Amino acid sequence: MTSFLKARMRRIFNAFTYSVQGFGFALKQKPFQEELLVCVILVPVALWLDVSMVETLLLVGSLIGVLVAEIFNTAIEAVVDRIGPEKHVLSGAAKDLGSVGVLVAILWAVGVWGCVVWGM
């Protein structure tokens, strides 16, 4: 195996390891736990519903979008908290913007579920 290929495989392995560590960090956060619980409940419901494959993908995808938004929000909060505990308008704005990203994802998921389930 060439050194280029070994280096490439090592980079991919490291990236995967960092992702697993990040997921572990997210699992320790209460909001992520709550949203993951909602996903554990609603994904089987989405698969059970008598809707098209596209609608099922929209239902599940909207839930995954909430999890992704929460992961990004957690990352933003971790960086802001790492910078320091003092209050600053930009630190507050960063946290607020991360939070509104989660809110938009949740509203999107509610809208998708409403349209698919009650529009059947």
Encode the chain (120 residues) as per-residue pLDDT tens digits. 688 888 999 999 999 999 999 999 999 999 999 999 999 999 999 999 999 999 999 999 999 999 999 999 999 999 999 998 889 999 999 999 999 999 999 999 999 999 999 986
The half-sphere exposure of 83 on its side-chain side, counting CA atoms within 13 A, is 13
Q: Residue type for 93, please? A: A
Using alpha carbons, select from 42, 41, 62 the residue that is nearest to residue 108: 62
Active site residue 70: yes
Q: What is the pLDDT of residue 114?
A: 97
Task: Please give the Cα distance from 36 to 25 (Å, whole number).
Answer: 14
Q: Which of 55, 70, 77, 86 is catalytic?
A: 70
Q: What is the pLDDT of residue 120?
A: 66
pTM: 0.90
Domains located in the chain, CATH noted: 30-118 (1.10.287.3610)
Q: What is the pLDDT of residue 4?
A: 85
